[in-house]
Amino acid sequence: MSNQLTKEQAIEFHDSGAWKNMGDKEKALFQMEQDKLCMPFSEFHRCVEATLGRPVWTHEFGLNRDGLLAELQGHGTAPSFDDVVAMLPADKAVVMVTP
């Protein structure tokens, strides 16, 4: 795990735009290893999906962080749809499947 940025350092990194000079995988790995958000979440989310080549559900970032990091590092496999749905707390899960 990389050194953790402080809140102030994360804000400074974001505001500097330094993250714009990083490749998708570099951004995904850097941010995944940080506890503080250092770039717009939409950019982070896009980079993770681009790097993994699959849709990543928002709740995976909070409930499967270690799994996503392992997948980004090439040590893990993508969860199945059933695995992703099973991550949701039973009292919060509402899934709609449309044709």
In the chain, what are the domain boundaries?
Answer: 7-80
pTM: 0.87
* Helical spans, DSSP H, in 1-99: 7-16, 24-32, 41-52, 58-63, 65-72, 81-86
The secondary structure of residue 76, as a DSSP letter, is S
DSSP-derived 3-state class of residue 91: coil
pLDDT tens string 36-85: 999 999 999 999 999 999 999 999 999 999 999 999 999 999 999 889 88
Query: What band does 89 get if pLDDT is binned at 50, 70 and 90?
Result: confident
C-beta of residue 77 within 8 angstroms of C-beta of residue 69: no
Tell whether the model's pLDDT for residue 98 goes beyond 90. no
